[in-house]
Amino acid sequence: MNQYLVSRYAHTLSEAQRLMESVDCERCAEMAGTSKNPAWIIGHLAVAGDLMGSLAGGEMKYAHWHELYSPGKEPKPDRSIYPKKDELMDALAERHGALSARVAGLTDADFRAELPMEAYRSFFPTLGDAAIYMMAAHEMYHLGQLSIWRNAAGIR
């Protein structure tokens, strides 16, 4: 399972990079009539990778971003509260690399292990459940929001 997750996760990173390539940094906090903006989406995905990496035994690097990007936090149309686009994209790529390295070394028993974060166990009973969702479905869900934002913002 490891190689498939890592492969799909690499694909979602390349999609995020492609979608963000033509988005100007100054436009990243625009709402464009949508519910999420690029600065929030990319930061949220970096934080999700940060959290998943810590659940897989790695270090959490962006704990200071969790208050801004955690589930349930609403995006704001204020550019000044978000890191710059390059910093967000670098953080996303770095967290992808760190999580991919962790997941590549997990065993089948690791994937079957109970999720160490009790608050999320009703959704993800095992580390494998969380890894599959976070590295495949979750990323593509939010990249769909980014694609919708691009269309609404007139970026083709």
Contacts of residue 123, defined as CB under 8 A and 6 or more positions apart, other chains included, come to 129, 130, 133
At 28-69, the pLDDT tens digits run 999 999 999 999 999 999 999 999 999 999 999 999 999 999
- 153: pLDDT strictly greater than 90: yes
From the list 61, 55, 33, the residue with the least C-alpha distance to 129 is: 55
pLDDT for the residue 1: 77
pLDDT for the residue 114: 98
Give the mean pLDDT of 76-105: 97
Tell me the C-alpha distance between 75 and 31, whole Å: 8
What percent of the chain has a predicted confidence (pLDDT) above 70? 100
Tell me the C-alpha distance between 110 and 105, whole Å: 9
Q: At 156, is the pLDDT very low, low, confident or very high (cuts 50, 70, 90)?
A: confident
Overall pTM surpassing 0.85 (yes/no)? yes
